[in-house]
Structure 1
Amino acid sequence: MAVIDGASMTNHAREIAKKIFMLIAEAEAKAHNLPIDEVHFHEVGAVDSIVDIISAAVCFDSLGISEVIVPKLSEGTGTVRCQHGRLPVPVPATLNIVTACGMPLEIMDATGEFVTPTGAAIACALATSHTLPSFFRIERIGLGAGKRAYTERAGILRALLVSDNQGEGERDEVLKIETDIDDCSGEVLGYTLEKLMQAGALDVHYAPVFMKKNRPAWELTVICKKEIRETLEDIIFRETTTIGVREFPSVMRVILKREEREVETPFGQALVKQVTFSDTVRNYPEYESVKALAEENEASFHEVFEAVRKAAEELD
Structure 2
Amino acid sequence: MSNMLYLECLSGISGDMTVAALLDLGADRQVLEKALESLPVDGFSIEIKRVVKSGLDVCDFDVVLDKKHENHDHDMEYLHGKETPSYAQENTGLEHVHEEAEHPHVHDHEGAEHPHVHDHEGAEHPHVHDHEGGEHPHVHDHKGEEHPHVHVQEGGEHHHSHEHRGLQEILAIISHAEITDRAKETAGRIFTILAEAEAAAHGVPMEEVHFHEVGAVDSIVDIIAVAVCLDNLDITQVVVPKLCEGSGFIRCQHGTIPVPVPAVANIAGLHQIRLQITDIRGELVTPTGAAIVAAVKTADTLPETFTILRTGMGAGKRSYERPSILRAMLIRGEQKEADSICKLETNIDDSTGEMLGYVMDLLFEAGAKDVHYTPVFMKKNRPAYQLNVICTEEDAHRLENIIFRETTTIGIRRCRMDRTVLKREMLQVDTRLGRAAVKACRLEDGIRYYPEYSSVTELSRTHNLPFREVYAVIQEECRKLKK
Match of 2:274 among 84, 101, 104: 104
Select the residue among 251, 258, 262 that pairs with 1:81: 251
Please state whether the residue corresponding to 1:90 is helix, strand or coil: coil
Q: In structure 2, what is the Cα distance between the partners aligned to 1:110 and 1:161?
A: 28
Partner of 1:160, secondary structure, is strand
TM-score (norm 1): 0.58
How many angstroms does 1:41 deviate by?
A: 2.0
Unaligned runs of 5+ in 1: 182-202, 220-244, 258-276, 279-316
Matched with 2:312 is 142
Q: Is the 8 A contact 2:341 2:393 kept in 1?
A: no
Flag the 1:38–1:142 CA change in 2: closer, same or farther, 3 A. same
- Asked if 1:124 corresponds to 2:294, the answer is yes
| Corresponding residue for residue 395 of structure 2 | 206
Q: Which one of the candidate residues 323, 341, 347 is aligned to 1:154?
A: 323
1:42 Cα offset (Å):
2.5
Structure 1 residue 66: Cα displacement: 0.4
Correspondent of 1:6 among 176, 197, 200: 176
- In 1, the alpha carbon distance for the partners of 2:213 and 2:269 equals 19
TM-score by length of 2: 0.39
- Where 1:15 maps in the other structure, the secondary structure is helix
The letter for the 2-side match of 1:56 is V
**Higher RCO structure (Cα 8 Å, ≥6 apart):** 2
Question: Compared with structure 1, are the counterparts of its residues 256 and 132 closer, same or farther at alpha carbon in structure 2 (3 Å cutoff)?
Answer: farther
- 1:279-303 deviation line (CA, Å, top 9, x unaligned): xxxxxxxxxxxxxxxxxxxxxxxxx
SS across alignment from 2:293: helix
Structure 1 residue 253 corresponds to structure 2 residue 418 = no
Relative to structure 1, the CA distance from residue 29 to residue 145 in structure 2 (aligned partners, 3 Å threshold; closer, same or farther) is: same
Cα offset, 1:83, TM superposition: 5.0
Paired with 1:180 and 1:40, the residues of 2 have a C-alpha distance of 56
Q: Secondary structure at the match of 1:81?
A: strand
Deviation of residue 76 (structure 1)?
Answer: 0.8
- 1:179–1:38: structure 2 CA closer, same or farther, 3 Å change rule? farther
Matches of residues 1-316 of structure 1 in structure 2 within 5 Å?
A: 1-42=171-212, 46-82=216-252, 84-150=254-320, 152-164=321-333, 170-174=335-339, 204-207=393-396, 208-209=399-400, 210=403, 214-215=409-410, 219=414, 246-248=416-418, 251-254=419-422
Please say if residues 197 and 264 of structure 2, whose CA atoms lie closer than 8 Å, have aligned partners that are also in contact: yes
- State the Cα deviation string for residues 83-141 of structure 1 (Å, max 9, x = none): 54331100000011111111111111221111101000111111111111111110001
What code does the residue aligned with 1:117 have?
Answer: P
Instruction: Look up the SS of the partner of 1:48 in the other structure.
Output: helix
In 2: Cα distance, 1:163 partner to 1:54 partner:
26
CA 1:255–1:34: 2 relative to 1, 3 Å: farther
- Structure 2 residue matching 1:148: 3-state secondary structure: coil
Give the number of aligned pairs: 206
User: Quick one: which amino acid aligns to residue 230 of structure 2?
Assistant: F
Superposed CA offset, 1:263-315 (max 9, x none)? xxxxxxxxxxxxxx99xxxxxxxxxxxxxxxxxxxxxxxxxxxxxxxxxxxxx
Residues 214 and 17 of structure 1: is their aligned pair in 2 closer, same or farther, counting only changes over 3 Å? same
- Paired residue for 2:350? none
User: What is the RMSD computed on CA atoms of the aligned residues?
Assistant: 3.1
SS of the equivalent of 1:41 reads strand
Gaps of 5+ in 2: 1-170, 347-391, 426-440, 443-483
* Aligned partners of 2:344 and 2:412 also within 8 Å: no
Aligned equivalents of 1:12, 1:30: Cα separation in 2: 27
Whether the aligned pair in 2 keeps the contact of 1:74 and 1:106 (CA below 8 Å) is: yes
1:253 corresponds to which letter in structure 2? Answer: V
- Partner AA of 2:302 in structure 1: L
Distance 2:205 2:417 in 1: 40
Letter in 2 for 1:215: I
Identify, as 1 or 2, the structure richer in helix: 1
Which of the pair has more CA radius of gyration? 2
Contact 2:174–2:184 (CA<8 Å) still a contact in 1? Answer: yes
Supply the distance in 2 between the matched residues of 1:120 and 1:43 (Cα, whole angstroms). 21
1:56 and 1:178, CA in 2 relative to 1: closer, same or farther beyond 3 A?
farther
Task: Name the CA shift for 1:47/1:175 in 2 (closer, same or farther; >3 Å).
Answer: same
- Mark the CA change 1:176 to 1:114 in structure 2 (over 3 Å): closer, same or farther: farther
